[in-house]
Amino acid sequence: MDFQAIIGGEERLQAAVAGRDARFDGWVFLAVTSTRIYCRPSCPAVKPKREHQRFYPSAAAAQEAGYRACKRCRPDASPGSPAWDWRTDVCARAMRLIGEGVVDREGAAGLADRLGYSLRQLERLLISEVGAGPAALARAQRAQVARTLIESTDLPMGEVAFAAGFASIRAFNRVVADVYACSPTELRSKAAGRNASGGGAITLRLAYREPFEPSNLFGHLAAAAAPGVEEWQGGAYRRTLRLPHGPGTASLRPGPGYIECRLRVADLRDVTAAVARCRRALDLDADPHAPAEALTADPVLAPLVEKTPGRRVPRKADGPEYAIRAVIGQQIATASAATIAAGLAERYGEAVDDPDGGLRRLFPAPETLAAADPAHLPMPGKRKATVLALAAALAEGRVDVGPGADWARTREQLAAVPGVGPWTIEMIAMRALGDPDAFPVKDLGVIKGARHLDLGAGRVLEARSQAWRPWRAYAVQYLWASSEHPTNHLPTEKEASTE
């Protein structure tokens, strides 16, 4: 797929640059042949003549072509391309896995193996689509993570290089110099308002596209939090993370134009994966204008979208965890499901140190739950059997709910697990896979909201929803918000403590 076709062609790109349209940040990158610098379309600098402009679909492609990142608009730190958020083809799956740090841990060949392609095939696909191969894309990501840590923490440079995924200090120094035209030390000396990384914590700012409505997003995460695994504390959603090299914790708090992300990781190599999971949980790479355009075409939904623009889809940082918790939550209240999940974590989950709050456990890994005593599952017999069957399928790789999953295939895999029905499949697709078109048409909140808006239910609602595709998961947020759904506002500390 040609990225200019996605954006709307050369003329629309030129208009975006002329108008400094921030909606295109992360979608496309403007390179200037006269200065050898690449920028966001919204960069406030004087715009170059048209003959000096070149467009690239990724920061990595611009870097591969020999351009350096603009020091004013910081294009490498823009939100990720929303294309990888709503597409399910192999390039999108590859980009999501690269974002998780798979190339850093397993190499480009390991990424290709995960996707079922040869390395040469994958490189050809990515170069044609994104302008760079997997190694170059991972290199660009390492450079961006390094810059963020250099400028926002006081970590020693050796630890920054390690955390960003570089194999050596020499490679770290060379890439930073190539991409930013200065040394790591010079980058740090120019940074203002750096956050000290005291006590082993790393504080970062996660970018997103405006408009951004945090109420249903953080409201859901707080209301569904399993005590000990998650918590709402001091206006922040906090949770434990199962990362490739060990456990960690994340604290996410809405700020003015960004999300404050405070991480603690057992191994600095997990910073990239932790950031990717936090971004996914908060749907931060979404383009809020695309679903808004589709949903406002419906005269019933239009007033809701216009009243509260920028709603995101609350997702989960751990796909397997949510898949199991979706089964636990079948036909019971959100708070009851969270209590059961917390009990399983206390019994079977790995302990986690949390000097900042009350997090104690990771949610049990699928292989651990697959071997659990059914007597320890406080739920009806059929649901116990489904939890154990799904845990076994996840542990054995028969069901994939990770960032590189093929959404259609995962739906088929889930349907083969006894007791996993359409509601559970669509909730997993929405929360774990991040499918923006997931639509749990039989969800009670969806039915209540649709009836409140006189949209019908069942087949009538399903037919009506076809016009909302591929953004039906966003429509669900507005349907829930139209009724007295329990997760449509930011909770107070009292509310969070009594969920």
Give the residue numbers annotated as catalytic, written as ranges. Answer: 39, 443
Radius of gyration from C-alpha coordinates of the chain:
22
User: Which residues lie across from 247 on neighbouring strands?
Assistant: 242
Rounded Cα distance between 291 and 277, Å, is: 22
| Sequence-distant (≥ 6) Cβ neighbours of residue 90 within 8 angstroms | 115, 117, 122, 125
Do strands 246-254 and 236-243 pair parallel, antiparallel, or not at all (unpaired)? antiparallel
Nearest CA among 98, 92, 105, 180 for reference residue 136: 98
Q: 10 Å Cβ neighbour count for 119?
A: 17
Q: What is the largest CA-CA distance in the chain?
A: 71
In which residue are the tokens 């570089």 written? 166
Nearest CA among 236, 246, 309, 299 for reference residue 274: 246
Question: How many angstroms separate the Cα of 47 from the Cα of each of 18, 53, 77, 224, 235?
Answer: 7, 9, 20, 47, 40
End-to-end CA distance of the chain: 46
Q: What token pair was written down for 416?
A: 């083969």
